[in-house]
Amino acid sequence: MPELTRRRHNDPQRQGWDVYYGDVRVGHIGERAGVPKIVDQWGWTCGFYPGCDPGEQQHGIGATFEDARAGFDAAWKRMLPKKTEAHFEMWRYQRDADAWKRRMWDEKCRMPSQREDGQSNCFCGEPITNRSVPEHIRKAHRGIGNDSHSVRRRPTFGRE
Ligand SMILES: [Zn+2]
């Protein structure tokens, strides 16, 4: 079973971490924005979309990072037994499809839907149609949206 890891997000105003289960972003722990100093300064969310129903998403607050992390941990332990590989795959496909569309845009490739005959070519050269796009992304570009190899991560619940 993959370990949870965390990765600092790139908001210079606030400290915060995205939490990953393997390569799937399953939540966030971070300083809360715009709250008075006398209330808990840290918040967490647990859940991922697509893959979780909106009602399954959980969130909470804590006085310190450690408190928020403990809240997240408890929520994750409730959520994980209800999740199967298919849920994580839904999230991964969406991640890859978003990255694929950005790359198509960057490479100035037309989407099949932008052409009258419904046929186009992927940036890799492969012919694609509206119908074949999901399958093509899964088969030829799986992991295109996964940038985890280029970024250093830390264990979420281990030692600093
Ligand atoms: Zn392709």
Give pTM, 2 decimals: 0.85
Residue 48: its pLDDT value, please?
97
Q: Give residue 152 CA to ligand 1 midpoint distance, Å.
A: 28
Residues 73 and 136 in one domain: no
Domain that holds residue 125: 85-140
For residues 92-121, give the mean pLDDT: 95
Q: Give residue 136 CA to ligand 1 midpoint distance, Å.
A: 6
Residues 26 and 51 in one domain: yes
Residue 97: its pLDDT value, please?
97
70 inside domain = yes
Phi, psi angles (nearest 5°) of residue 38:
-85, -10
95 inside domain = yes
Average pLDDT over the chain reads 91
Give residue-wise pLDDT tens across range 131-143.
999 999 999 999 9
Q: Give residue 123 CA to ligand 1 midpoint distance, Å.
A: 6
Give residue-wise pLDDT tens across range 6-62.
988 877 888 899 999 999 999 999 999 889 999 999 999 999 999 999 899 999 999
Residues 79 and 112 in one domain: no
153 inside domain = no
Residues 57 and 99 in one domain: no
Residue 155: its pLDDT value, please?
65
157 inside domain = no
**pLDDT over threshold 70, residue 66:** yes
Q: Give residue 144 CA to ligand 1 midpoint distance, Å.
A: 10
Is 122 in contact with 128 (CB distance < 8 Å)?
yes
**pLDDT over threshold 70, residue 152:** no
Residues 61 and 130 in one domain: no
Q: How many domains does the chain have?
A: 2
Secondary structure letter of residue 60 according to DSSP: E
Residues 17 and 32 in one domain: yes
Residues 30 and 94 in one domain: no
152 inside domain = no
Q: Which residue is listed with tokens 């298919």?
A: 86
Residues 89 and 79 in one domain: no
Residues 70 and 115 in one domain: no
Q: Give residue 85 CA to ligand 1 midpoint distance, Å.
A: 24
Is 29 in contact with 42 (CB distance < 8 Å)?
yes
